[in-house]
A and B are shown apart, each in its own frame.
Chain A
Amino acid sequence: MLTINNLTKKYGDIKAVDNLSLEIKPGEIYGFIGPNGAGKTTTLKSVTGILDFDEGEIFIDGLSIKDAPLECKKKFAYIPDNPDLYGYMKGSAYLNFVADIFGISTEKRNTLIEKYAGLFELTDDLATPISAYSHGMKQKLAIISAWIHDPKLIIMDEPFVGLDPKASHTVKEMMREVCDNGGAIFFSTHVLEVAEKLCDKIAIIKEGKLIRSGTMEEVRGDESLENVFLELA
């Protein structure tokens, strides 16, 4: 679903990501962990086409993000670490905007908005301008907008920040549902307990370099993920 080959991204002379390679297959929840400034967000932004990169290749469902950016973008959804959304729009207007871009029919969007807004208890706030939303509400709206077009791959940067426990639980269930239906999830997190329980595979990045990756068992062995992380990072 997502193949990253020898990705290198520089800011001036500094390598934010250094020769990183990963492969995320359909059905996998892939966690991406590392200390602050390790290069997680830069990697995710390179995958989504927000940032251009210097070396390497990124393929989404077999298509290169550099050569066929629009086709790639039709296949994934991205949720950034800070959900800055259009404050001048109402929540429902934003969801409709995203649905329009992906060509989602009125019937389908009605069903999905009802389903996910209901799950996040956001239905009553959909007619409110986003500028009046709290961080958590914006995060919920960003998540709904990602799920509204049924993407094959969902890329999330720290998706649980700002969410209440109930919403976090809902997101985890939604993530598993995507993978059960043949999709894939690639997300960064600092919450190691979540990564340990939720992820099928995990990658640890430090100073732009991949220092360990694989299934949860391969990465942590008999230790806890926290201990492995503290040793490596």
Chain B
Amino acid sequence: MIKILLKKELKEFLSPIVINRKTNKPRSRAALFALTALLLLAAAATGASFYFLCMFFSEITLAFGLDWLYFVLVAVLSLMIGVIINVFATFNALFSAKDNDLLISMPLKPSQILSARMISLYLLGTLFTAIVWVPGLIRYWIAGSPSFLSVVFGILLLFVVSAFVLVISCLLGWVVGLITSRLRNKAVFTTILYFLLFGLYYVVYFKMSDILRNLAENIDSFERSMSGYLNPFYLIGKAAAGDVLCMIIIFCLAAAVTAVCIFVLSRSFIKISTSNKGAKKKAYDKEDNSFKKPESALFAKESKRFFGTPIYLFNSGLGVILMIVLAVIVIVKSNDIVAFLHMLDVTVPWLGDGMSVILGVIGMMLISTIAISAPSVSLEGNTLWILKTLPISEKQIFSAKLKLHIMMNTIALIALLAAVAIAFRPELPEMIVLSAFLIIYMLFEAYLGLVTGLTHPVLDWSNETVPVKQSMGVLICMLGGWGIAALVAGLYAVLFISLEINFITPILYLAIWTVIIGLLVLYMEKWLGTKGAKKFREL
């Protein structure tokens, strides 16, 4: 029975990659290969940043023969990253899946439903954990003195650490489920939790240098606190360094806690999945009824969905918060930045000259993380019939989706541009071109999101995680945006640094890109009015 359920879970998990949503047929081998390569590239880029962190870990541990301690640090980092990324996907997949009612009504044990879902989540968690654990292993193989057993155990431990990631994510997801089942406004609570958890991640991230310095200074006491066979991290560390007994113990421990986790969750699965208690009725007030124009009504609908769907708000709106936070930091640290820029002018003049391009590229990368329009078509899901039977044009529907994206981005962009003006103090023409460039790029991302959302729709999802996190449209929008940012930066490096051309200035270079991207926006606007509208009608 679990096999059948697992097949269903894996089908949904892999469908954005394996199935071409345009044709609803499996992708060709070439397309599958290209897509896999793209995903691996993104994973490798992220893994590279963790590799540098592991370099530091290796310097303070391996040099002193503390191989096991090195793996303790890598394991802590892997667990933290894995859990943060996985916890809400776990909650949504376990307790908020649309087919929970259907499955519960079938002659299936809760443990069977949970086990199938957990295996699917385990695979997802393994992928996220691997982004940290694999660079950690590679670093050890390069800088350490790996034995045959440590290589084998190191690889096997990826699956053990992933099991702990799964268990912690499930238990945290279970707590979230228990709390939200007693709340009237689940969306607000879940969203706040999203941001708190991610805020914690960023606090740790920004404090990382302090943490690492403390770690280096107090490595002896850290070693003592981590030692002991009762400490799972110690067991992981020793096992990764090639200790057979520790490997057996940690393997059994992982299996045992996973079994306990399934047992505990099974006992409250039905209760949490179907509970709606605490939802006190609010009285209907006809004063809330007010007339709006169709365009405003459509925009209000898009806004309600954005602010009422935690995973959508968090994943697609996080970039807005990040940009505002970054803007505040830049303003607060403006004096330091000015001093730094003076130093750059003296030491690396070409970098100072191209500051507007560098700022433009950073802005592009930040804007690319705000994918609000990209999943908006897919999120219509089963309710698509409403838009298709109401007397509204595709243009009106698209405008509302674009407007929400543009409005949310505009707030963040204004903050960012204000910070640039205060901290970097560019000259007026430079500021005007940079502003125009980023505004046009923001429009480009809004249109690209809608276009890819229409060309790669996912309407048959069972929870919002699929269109918001796993749809091809979102992926193309984010990675495509970073790709264009890399192109702008790379071409700048070739033209101005390698070839040292001087007949166009960096400002003119940005202005040319503004025109090119603007033309692409116009093309997409035209496409939406013709082919895009046809595609929407055919959905």
Contact = CB atoms under 8 A, between A and B. Distances in A.
A105 B389 contact: no
B387 to A, nearest CB: 10
Nearest to B287: A110
A168 interface: no
B289 A123 contact: no
B308 A106 contact: no
Contact of A85 (B187, B297, B383, B538): B383
A121 interface: no
A70 B388 CA distance: 10
Contact of B390 (A73, A104, A117): A73
B289 A110 contact: yes
A167 interface: no
B301 interface: yes
Interface stretch (B115-123, B275-283, B370-378, B474-482): B275-283
A91 B286 CA distance: 12
Contact of B391 (A50, A74, A80, A113): A74
Nearest to A95: B289
A101 B297 contact: yes
A98 interface: yes
29 contacts: A49-B388, A49-B389, A50-B388, A52-B538, A71-B391, A73-B392, A77-B389, A82-B382, A85-B386, A86-B305, A86-B383, A88-B308, A92-B288, A93-B288, A95-B289, A97-B297, A97-B300, A98-B390, A100-B292, A101-B297, A106-B289, A113-B286, A113-B289, A124-B283, A124-B284, A125-B284, A127-B284, A128-B281, A128-B282
B465 to A, nearest CB: 15
A211 interface: no
B191 to A, nearest CB: 12
Given A50-B389, A126-B284, A93 B294 contact: no
Contact of B389 (A71, A78, A89, A104): A78
B286 A114 contact: yes
Contacts of A99: 289, 291
A101 B392 contact: yes
Interface in B343-390: 381-383, 385-386, 388-390
B286 A105 contact: no
A109 interface: yes
B220 interface: no
B46 interface: no
A74 B391 CA distance: 5
A84 interface: yes
A78 B289 contact: no
Interface string B266-279: 00000000001001
B285 interface: yes
Contact of A100 (B288, B294, B309): B294
B388 A86 contact: no
Nearest to A106: B291
A117 B286 CA distance: 12
Given A49-B388, A124-B284, A128-B279, 11 more contacts: A70-B391, A73-B389, A88-B305, A88-B308, A89-B304, A92-B289, A97-B300, A100-B292, A101-B297, A127-B282, A127-B283
Contacts of A182: none
Interface of B: 187, 276, 279, 281-286, 288-294, 296-298, 300-301, 304-305, 308-309, 381-383, 385-386, 388-393, 537-538
Nearest to A85: B383
A127 B294 CA distance: 22
Contact of A80 (B281, B285, B296, B385): B385
B296 A100 contact: yes
A51 to B, nearest CB: 9
A34 to B, nearest CB: 21
Contacts of A232: none
A194 interface: no
A105 B291 CA distance: 6
A88 B309 contact: yes
B376 to A, nearest CB: 13
B292 A86 contact: no
B282 A106 contact: no
B391 A106 contact: no
A229 interface: no
B308 A124 contact: no
Contacts of A95: 289
Contacts of B281: 124-125, 127-128
Contacts of B283: 124, 127
Contacts of B385: 50, 78, 80, 84
A37 interface: no
Interface in A93-147: 93, 95-106, 109-110, 113-114, 117, 123-128, 132
A97 B284 contact: no
Contacts of A8: none
A80 to B, nearest CB: 5
B530 to A, nearest CB: 16
A10 B170 CA distance: 46
A213 interface: no
Contacts of A101: 294, 297-298, 390-392
Contacts of A104: 291
Nearest to B282: A127
A123 B281 CA distance: 11
A189 interface: no
Contacts of B285: 127
A29 B98 CA distance: 36
Interface-central residue, B187, B284, B286, B393, by most chain A CB under 10 Å = B284
